[in-house]
Amino acid sequence: MEILTSIAEMQIAARELRRGGTLALVPTMGALHAGHLSLIAAAKRDCTHVAATIFVNPLQFGPNEDFNRYPRTFEADCAALTAAGVDILFAPSAEMMIPDGATTFVEVGGISDRLDGAHRPGHFRGVATIVAKLFHIIEPDRAYFGQKDAAQLAVLRAMVHDLNFFVEIVACPIVREPDGLALSSRNRYLTTEQRIRATILHRSLDAAADLHAHGERNSQVLTATMQQMLASEPTVIVEYAAVVDPDTLLPLADTTGSALLAVAARLGETRLIDNHLLGNFE
């Protein structure tokens, strides 16, 4: 696997790869786990070549968030990406990606202020700006993102639509631990006790999804179910438990169409998110 840190070199290398077939992009912040590797596997299945990126994006972290302590495991990540068959890793520095004096940002209005965006001001502006830059630098045919970050997917789909990026966004299913906890680079922050309590996120989603499967369509009932389950773990501080439209992230009164059950909660300093997509077109 070739490792590049310069934008100019990456542009040339990506152009070369595209000449030989289709090119997939898998953006990450490193600290790779099986969730990330599932995106690589999907990219490998669909495309001739795969480029991955590792960039802990300072623009998407708030002033009191975990940018400084975000896990950085570059050597292990390179070994995992090489074993997964990635052709090129782009791992630029913050100075390379965000040059001094840069004043241009990508702002996806509305959607960026919902769910995680409501609790992390500026987060999705940071995500959209950097992903837009990666799309310009690499010009992939397809870009792979995890359903785990459902709000991020909605923001990026809107960006691609509104700004006519010539790329297909591919969403990949959430990869989970055997007990159901969604894999996340932040899970390593959890204490043993928090790790046990953290399963309440997906258990609350499962309970609501189960009700839906048995015919319940009222979002208030589904939301109350999630909230009640989450309240059974008082040390888990809920940020949101919501039933929303997966594209606009606006609240839905009922789940007769496609709907997203989404939760976010804090365990101590650690913020976790999870969701369940209800595909129901009746």
Q: What are the residue numbers of the active site?
A: 36
Query: Smallest gap, in angstroms, from Cβ of residue 41 to ligand AMP?
Result: 11
Residue 36, interface with ligand AMP (CB under 6 A)?
yes
Residue 271, interface with ligand AMP (CB under 6 A)?
no
CB-based contacts of 204, cutoff 8 Å, min separation 6: 225, 226, 227, 229, 230, 241, 263
For β-strands 259-267 and 270-278, DSSP reports them as antiparallel
Toward ligand AMP, which CB reaches closer, 36 or 276? 36
| Of 183, 198, 262, 263, the one binding ligand AMP by CB under 6 A | 183
**Spatial contact of 28 and 152, defined as CB atoms under 8 Å apart:** no
Query: Smallest gap, in angstroms, from Cβ of residue 282 to ligand AMP?
Result: 28
User: Cα–Cα distance between 41 and 84 in angstroms, integer?
Assistant: 7
User: Cα–Cα distance between 259 and 236 in angstroms, integer?
Assistant: 24
| Of 7, 17, 39, 244, the one binding ligand AMP by CB under 6 A | 39
| Of 13, 50, 59, 172, the one binding ligand AMP by CB under 6 A | 172
User: Cα–Cα distance between 9 and 175 in angstroms, integer?
Assistant: 33
x/- contact string, 184-203, with ligand AMP (CB under 6 A)?
Answer: xx------------------
Q: Which residue is nearest to ligand AMP (CB)?
A: 146
Q: How many residues bind ligand AMP (CB under 6 A)?
A: 17
Q: What is the CA radius of gyration of the chain?
A: 19
